[in-house]
Amino acid sequence: MNKNITMKDIADKLGVSKVTVSKALNDKDGVSEELKIKIKMVAEDMGYRYNALAKSLKVSNSYNIGVIIAERFTGDNRSFYLTFYQYISRILEEYHYSAILNILDSKDEERLNLPRIYNQRKVDGFIILGQVNKGYIELLQNIEMPIIFLDFYDEHIDIDTIITDNFYGAYEITNYLIKNGHRQIGYVGNLNATSSIQDRFLGYYKSLLEHRIKLNEEYIINDRDEKGKFIDLKLPDELPTAFVCNCDMIAYNLIKKLNDKGYKVPEDCSVVGFDNDIYATISDVKITTVEVDMEEMAKTAVRCIIEKMKNTNEKYGRISIKGNIVFRNSVKSL
Amino acid sequence: MNKNITMKDIADKLGVSKVTVSKALNDKDGVSEELKIKIKMVAEDMGYRYNALAKSLKVSNSYNIGVIIAERFTGDNRSFYLTFYQYISRILEEYHYSAILNILDSKDEERLNLPRIYNQRKVDGFIILGQVNKGYIELLQNIEMPIIFLDFYDEHIDIDTIITDNFYGAYEITNYLIKNGHRQIGYVGNLNATSSIQDRFLGYYKSLLEHRIKLNEEYIINDRDEKGKFIDLKLPDELPTAFVCNCDMIAYNLIKKLNDKGYKVPEDCSVVGFDNDIYATISDVKITTVEVDMEEMAKTAVRCIIEKMKNTNEKYGRISIKGNIVFRNSVKSL
DNA sequence: CTGAAAGCGCTTACAG
DNA sequence: CTGAAAGCGCTTACAG
């Protein structure tokens, strides 16, 4: 029944022109209030559905945003980025935009093939979720479309990107430990493995500095080699009273290790993590950690891309969003 | 530069008509092979991008599929359905369709509001991921668009749906236990909580029946109340040699419980799960389990919806897809 | 406040 | 093998 009812049909029924119908349905000026209401009612009655495609063709704007995630991030069932995508899709909806997901094949990434949704003008811009190859970034920078990177930062290239504030998050959670009376605080992570681990370390270090606590090299524990392969955690001879771990998984492993050696958490040693992922809550001791504020990051990304569509030469650079500490029971107050 | 190059521009450059260009670019008959090649080259040179919107308007087909997930399934970071969505998006791409995600608000679900992408004709069909309200199902059934349900089944309503074969999966994994010499096999799960748990129980029971093993009521352990609230697991006085658990999380809990009581898994008791989620691999003993074949389910869903778009009165009913057993080390051969 | 005309970029018959 | 004409359903100036 609903089949292909257009503005023309509504116009004919009411003896007005389709221009008037268009104005009424879009709440534009130039139609009397009564007529507007009447038109809306008739549209409703006739089961009219607006044809966004026709408008798109006219204004050359699809009202779709492509979200690109590199294939390698999508393997496991608990992909962080899919949750991110969900927020993006939801927030885009508030702006009356839709999200189209594009999983970027390793091959296409290597060969610098742009996605089909680009070549077919199905989207007005792209949000790139997570790291992609350098060559691909450059490729993307050269297309005449707004692009925002999310959760990825490259110091060598001039991109607009939204990242989580690793530095500040680690700084804050270390402050929290100190506020709870800790002065011997270790850090777990390989400082040269990723820039996140490094920035988190630096935040931890800033907190120590501010509180005039000397950094003890003994308290810095390696968790992986520089390629990212995890190694066995080696506890220092003399245990600090607390550890800041570069992520929850490592915090979880550390707690296990401590338990094995007969130490209890948090009674004998406090432990905090980062990420607030499943490892933070899976064992008996629930880990106090820093939660990446995905929603805020997604909101910012969407806001920026909408702005960039209006004004192409808008520049944002690097925006970092503060995470939130989630307090649980892995920290003892001394 | 690339700005708004159309078929007309290519046609003008070559002194042919845009009809010919359209035919060439779409690999249709009615253009000589040479001309076709020349047109494609010029298009490439000029940086032409096909305008899918214009075609869509013409053929009234958006080449987009909406994927609806109810809000309540998207809370946690490890959402099963987002992984499903990712497969769908990927497979749709092979058919040159795109996926648009729609998170269905609880309010919209309650008030029976169809998504904006429906009202604006941005999609040609819907895949509904997971359960939605009865009222909403009925609403969806009455729209003139192909719909496929995924991972959800309602016995009272006539819908096309793709589900995982709970019955057969549990049947197979129980067979595996028996093949390994087990004869005293328990089942963990509340038979009245969900139809999945019930179907899995029935598969387990079928395996026992086929092997002439008597069902021992003592061996059936409750894991939750009928509202789904988890309760403490109570081990039977006499322990069976193996347990089939209705999901990995419960398997994980059961193993913990057994360990607490001084039993080792699999040495003293074997345990298998269902789902192959994170709980299957998080503890030291890796759990043998049934993995839902998401990819195959997604493939089937996409195939069905594409078929339904071609032929509206195509009917599929209930299609169940067999899962795969993932063998690990929680089962001992007797 | 209302509407006739032109056009967005394609495709679909149909004619040559 | 090639192309002129009509049309998909809107919106955007512009004129009245």
- Tell me which residue in B56, B98, B119 faces A49 most closely, judged by beta carbons: B119
Q: What is the 3-state secondary structure (H, E, C) of chain B?
A: CCCCCCHHHHHHHHCCCHHHHHHHHCCCCCCCHHHHHHHHHHHHHHCCCCCHHHHHHHHCCCCEEEEEEEHHHCCCCCCHHHHHHHHHHHHHHHCCCEEEEEEECHHHHHCCCCCHHHHCCCCCEEEEECCCCHHHHHHHHCCCCCEEEECCCCCCCCCCEEEECHHHHHHHHHHHHHHCCCCCEEEECCCCCCHHHHHHHHHHHHHHHHCCCCCCHHHEECCECCCCCECCCCCCCCCCCEEEECCHHHHHHHHHHHHHCCCCCCCCCEEECCECCHHHCCCCCCCEEEECCHHHHHHHHHHHHHHHHHCCCCCCCEEEECCEEECCCCCCCC
Closest nucleotide over all strands to B23 (CA to C1'): C11
* Residue B138: per-residue pLDDT: 93
Quote the domain boundaries for residue B98.
64-164+295-321
Closest nucleotide over all strands to B60 (CA to C1'): D8
Task: List, in sequence order, every residue forming a beta bridge with A271; answer none if it has no partner.
Answer: A243
CA of A18 to C1' of C3 (A): 8
Q: For B122, how many CA atoms within 13 A lie in the half-sphere containing its CB?
A: 28
Which amino acid is residue A43, in one-letter code? Answer: A
Closest to B274 (Cα-Cα) out of B334, B192, B199:
B199
| Joined tokens for residue A221 | 């524990």
CA distance A173 to A279: 18
Residue corresponding to tokens 């992570």: A189
User: How buried is A229 (Cβ within 10 angstroms: 0-12 exposed, 13-18 middle, 19+ buried)?
Assistant: exposed
- Tell me which residue in A57, A77, A143 faces B53 most closely, judged by beta carbons: A57
Please, which positions of strand C sit below 7 A from a protein CB? 1-5, 7-14
**Residue partners of B12: CB distance under 8 A and separation at least 6:** none
Residues A236 and A302 in one domain: no
Residues B84 and B233 in one domain: no
Of all residues in chain B, what percent carry a pLDDT higher than 70? 98
- The residue in chain A having the minimum alpha-carbon distance to the alpha carbon of residue B249 is A282
| Interchain contact, A144 vs B1, CB within 8 Å | yes
| Interchain contact, B103 vs A96, CB within 8 Å | no
CATH of the domain at B98: 3.40.50.2300
Residues A41 and A128 in one domain: no
Residues A254 and A197 in one domain: yes
- Examine residue B176 and state whether it is found in any structural domain, yes or no: yes
Residue B280 — very low, low, confident or very high, per pLDDT cuts 50/70/90? Answer: very high
Asked if residue A224 lies in contact with residue A231, where contact means CB atoms within 8 angstroms, the answer is: yes
Residues B248 and B188 in one domain: yes
Cis peptide before A266 (omega within 30 of 0): yes
- Tell me which residue in A80, A96, A120 faces B116 most closely, judged by beta carbons: A96
pLDDT digits (tens, 9 = 90+) for B136-155: 999 999 898 999 999 988 87
A-B contacts (CB, under 8 Å): 122
Residues A308 and A284 in one domain: no
| Interchain contact, B83 vs A99, CB within 8 Å | no
- The residue in chain A having the minimum alpha-carbon distance to the alpha carbon of residue B284 is A256
Question: What 8-state DSSP symbol labels residue A114?
Answer: P
| Interchain contact, B62 vs A53, CB within 8 Å | yes
| Interchain contact, A103 vs B90, CB within 8 Å | yes
- Phi/psi at B282 (nearest 5 deg)? -85, -25
CA distance A214 to A216: 6
CA of A17 to C1' of C3 (A): 6
As averages over each run of 10 residues, the pLDDT of chain A (334 residues) reads: 74 86 85 85 87 88 94 75 91 95 94 94 94 93 92 86 95 97 96 90 97 96 88 94 96 95 96 92 93 94 94 89 95 94
- Examine residue A131 and state whether it is found in any structural domain, yes or no: yes
Closest to A199 (Cα-Cα) out of A160, A233, A171:
A171
Residues A159 and A192 in one domain: no
- Examine residue B186 and state whether it is found in any structural domain, yes or no: yes
pLDDT at B2 over 50: no
pLDDT digits (tens, 9 = 90+) for B202-261: 999 999 999 999 999 999 999 998 888 899 999 999 999 999 999 999 999 999 999 999
- Per the structure, the count of domains in chain A is 3
B270-282: average pLDDT:
92
**Residue partners of A172: CB distance under 8 A and separation at least 6:** A203, A207, A290, A325
pLDDT at B192 over 60: yes
What count of other Cβ atoms lies within 10 Å of the Cβ of residue A290? 31
- Tell me which residue in B63, B96, B100 faces A98 most closely, judged by beta carbons: B100
What count of other Cβ atoms lies within 10 Å of the Cβ of residue B256? 14
CATH of the domain at B38: 1.10.260.40
Which of chain B's residues have a Cβ under 8 Å away from the Cβ of A54?
Answer: 57
- Examine residue B71 and state whether it is found in any structural domain, yes or no: yes
